[in-house]
Structure 1
Amino acid sequence: MTFRQRPLGSSAVAMTELAFGAAAIGNLYTPVDDAQAEQAVEAAWQEGIRSFDTAPHYGLGLSERRLGEALRGRPRSEYTVSTKVGRILEPAPAATGDDLANGFAVPATHRRRWDFTADGVRRSIEESLNRLDLDRIDIAYLHDPDDHAEQALTEAYPALHRLREEGVLGAIGIGMNQAEVPARFVRETDLDVVLLAGCYSLLTQRGLAELLPQAAERGVGVVIGGVFNSGLLADPKPGATFDYAAAPPEVLNRALELKAVCERHGVPLRAAALRFPFGHPAVASVLVGTRSAAEVHDCAEMLRHPVPAALWAELKERGLLPPEVPTPEESCR
């Protein structure tokens, strides 16, 4: 059963409600072998996932190469691929060791160089097309321009706009772990989509203050990443991580309270975490990083799991969700 597809802004690009995040098959934190990576993508296809996200940053290009290989031979019109610009990969022939300082268990064969110039954007897209073995990219995101917002706005964004007009790209967006800079881009540019990571979940709704309402008003699609907040909402327990660090006790306790309410309604916490973002009308998809076929099948099962309206109501009654936060059954009224 294929997941429902939702359009991104006024573009011709649509995404399945569940998207495959390919950072993990770029050896995020720990190695994944070629066969395991291919099996994860195959499982996504079997589950009806047709949207795949990668970036040059992920494993120094390994994620793009593996994703391209795994998708080769599949009907190109049936899936969407997103990648990112802002980091150029340059060979480092004298380098030794690994790339774990940047989070990836791969040899340090290249170094990353921030580049949000127009030439850098074109070079990045050309190199991504080669690694992916594709002739077009469906979505290109400006990747983490936290310290480069002005250059991304005045140089990188216009370059992506031209590539979209040329048909090299189907849609353009911005992907960040914060909501403020993307909100500015929604106001000042003609974006199709925002990839918002770690800012809209059962535990934190920072994206609701400004970004999500603006996106809904301007018809910009939003893809939500980090719905498990670095794993805490997948399995809350002592030692779990929250936003890439050890979860503070008060945050862990809140996650355990969320889990208890979910269990009373017969719903796994993972299922509620995956379904929650769709309460907001701007949200088109949730993006989950998976490194194995088993993880893919679990995410698909969890997103398909029914979540009763009474669960959201109890979360609000107990103060675990603010009363103004839209929940999925409300978005259908």
Structure 2
Amino acid sequence: MSGICAGRVVVVTGAGRGLGRAHALAFAAAGARVVVNDLGVRLDGEPGGENPARAVAAEIRAAGGEAVAHDGDVATGEGAASLVRTALEAYGRLDTLVNNAGFLRDRMLVNLGEDDWDAVLRAHLKGHFLPLRHAAAHWRAEAKSGRGPAGRVVNTSSGAGLLGSLGQGNYSAAKAGIVALTLVAAAELDRYGVQVNAIAPAARTRMTERAFAGTMSAPATGFDAMAPENVSPLVVWLGSAASAGVSGRVFEVEGGRLSVMEGWHRGPTADKGARWGVEEVGEEALRLLAEAARPGAVYGAGPG
């Protein structure tokens, strides 16, 4: 094998279609052995009767790479544990985890049911936490045994998680939670030689081509800025040993544009040194707001 990920074993969740499929193929092209996970559900998370993980694994093998399929539910403890076991049993190691699985159940807040809230939070946020937890436990054991893993985790957030998106309160909350989880995991796992980062991609997938149909269609000619393959080079680099020293970061990537997100940071501040009165704290809050940078617009709400 040759390439930036030669010899590495990479797990990609939600890799049967869209971004996950593009990542799995890109890792294989870069020399990695890939565990392709996908539950095969429909866009809303209901059973789909397909096994796209096997199709992508077969595609990688047909191109001369190494891949195995895993069709377990990574938002369950057993599914996440079996995902890590699959990598270890097939290839004897685990180097990189790419958390990508998820689905949509979009509703405006007044129409958003509790079941739709729970299902989307479970798929995205719990579906990130459990594979991360089981992979981290493996890497901790490796570190304590003196084998010093160069573990890598790439989580998938969204612009919806950074700015919000109309009709996607559940999805936006889950994706914002993934950013916070990334920051905590990066701090906690550094001692074991594990780096954790997140991406906020914009690309054409089952989840976006309907919600943002006007901006997601492929052009007749020229650069296809919304092709999911545009996102994968960054993911492959973050999942490789070449990204040493990069952790706890969030990258926004769309077409040929790459940004390092700066997240929440303290802006204009006033400290009275004592308790504020109601009227004076309001006046001071308005003064600080006048000095502060204007936040970006929520997706779907028009310009800020």
- What is the TM-score when the length of structure 2 is the normalising length? 0.39
- What is the TM-score when the length of structure 1 is the normalising length? 0.36
Larger Rg over CA atoms: 2
- Larger relative strand fraction: 1
